[in-house]
Amino acid sequence: MTPYPIGDMLTRIRNASAKFHSEVAMPHSKIKEAIAGILKDEGYILDYEVVSQEPQAELRLTLKYRGERTRAERAIHEIRLVSKPSRRVFVGKDNIPRPLGGMGICIVSTSQGVMPGHEARQRGIGGEVLLEVK
């Protein structure tokens, strides 16, 4: 068992991206699947799938790159955990961060589910800022 599953997910993505792996696998959870869905919708990964197996299902992400392997450019340049178990970061609707002046995204856990920061801003709700992607 990992101490903080979301932090583990981001570390696996960073490590796989640094070595230009095409896929990365991790234990499945609903919040990880929601984060993967947002990353796919925003164009940071190609796809994700949930593989049922015992004792726990597995979440597989297909990472996205541009160009040839020798000169490839990562779609995810930086992925950073904002809210940690030791320090939770909650924001109101007016204080939702805009990474890179709106070119990146932040993912927010709200009372209406996990969503990108721009969607939470449109709906007028705040919540816990989980991570930022640039």
pLDDT along the chain (134 residues), means of 10: 90 96 97 98 97 95 89 94 96 96 96 98 98 97
Q: For 65-76, how does the pLDDT look when each residue is reduced to its tens digit (9 = 90+)?
A: 998 877 889 999
Q: What residue type is 20 in one-letter code?
A: F
Predicted local distance difference test score (pLDDT) of residue 1:
64
Question: How many domains does one find in the chain?
Answer: 1
Predicted local distance difference test score (pLDDT) of residue 68:
82
Parent domain of 113: 5-133
The Cα angle at residue 10 between residues 8 and 14, in degrees rounded to 5: 115
What percentage of the chain has pLDDT greater than the value 70?
99
What's the pTM? 0.95
CATH of the domain at 71: 3.30.1370.30
Would you say how long the chain is, in residues?
134
